[in-house]
Structure 1
């Protein structure tokens, strides 16, 4: 499966076996992404080929995170020791394949955000003011 950052500067191909993924709710992931959790797919490091290596920053004494310094997309979480890394599910070109099978960092999860399926929902293309902004700016809606 292929993936990459929002601006396209960093691209990867990963050999994926299965569709399982997990949500991490730990405070470090919350701070690193600005979200209440992040979806990850754990893979062997050897199963990932990068066109260009991601930028990395040391997020703790034990690990680093890969990201694009041009657009800010979070791409990986990698312990210093070990053969695996986590790829962000949202960075895959087809993230819909993955299904969450577990949670990590339960001590920091926000229960109100775990099941939001009953909340009102709207498609982006149903928000006319946003559609107008995109059409006036670039003549089409984003992918």
Structure 2
């Protein structure tokens, strides 16, 4: 179990990472929302909020939504609308130790003006969406 929160500290959460890995999403929505790539840790449905009254929820697609702190603007969580898959912003965790950068997703949406030096798995948007469809039984 790991703890974390927003920039101003009014939203706090506990999360159970599925594994000690983080990924980077290059999709245009994540880039606009986070101001860069969205580096996140998959936590399944293992996120609970100690204080959620000031959370904003934005339905960003037919399947996903983004949670953020309405006052300070911190980008905190992307999740499937049914809550079955949750990606917590890496930088929102209090302790970043132990996480390993392993994957980049929506690489076909990544602009050409940056690249990571790390060796990572790279998956296209179609590959990511096919995984979600398989996990949802569609």
- What is the TM-score with the length of structure 1 in the denominator? 0.72
Cα distance change of structure 1 residues 73 and 82 upon mapping to structure 2, 3 Å threshold: closer
User: Residues 113-128 of structure 1 correspond to what in structure 2 (within 5 A)?
Assistant: 113-115=114-116
Aligned to 1:122: none
Which ranges in structure 2 are unaligned for 5 or more consecutive residues?
119-138
Cα deviation, residue 111, structure 1: 4.5
Q: Provide the residue aligned with 2:43 in structure 1.
A: 43
CA RMSD of aligned residues (A): 1.8
- Give the structure with higher Rg (CA): 1
**Distance in 1 between the 2:24 and 2:71 partners?**
25
Aligned pairs (5 A) from 1:87-106: 87-106=88-107
Structure 1 residues 10 and 57, CA gap change in structure 2 (3 angstroms): same
For residue 9 of structure 1, give the secondary structure of its aligned residue in structure 2.
coil
| 1:18 shift after superposition | 2.8
TM-score (norm 2): 0.75
Aligned equivalents of 1:34 and 1:50: distance in 2? 24
Alignment match, 1:28: 29
Structure 1 pair 111–95 and aligned structure 2 pair: CA distance change class (3 A): farther
Task: Check conservation: 2:42, 2:86, Cα contact below 8 A.
Answer: yes
Which structure 2 residues correspond to residues 1-143 of structure 1 after superposition, within 5 A? 1-35=2-36, 37-45=37-45, 47-53=46-52, 54-81=55-82, 83-115=84-116
Q: Which moved more, 1:56-65 or 1:3-12?
A: 56-65
Q: Gaps (5+ residues) in structure 1?
A: 118-143
Higher helix share: 1
1:82 is displaced (CA, Å) by 5.3
Q: Once the 2 structures are TM-superposed, how far is the Cα of residue 112 of structure 1 from its aligned partner? A: 4.2
Return the alpha-carbon distance in structure 2 between the equivalents of residues 9 and 68 of structure 1.
8
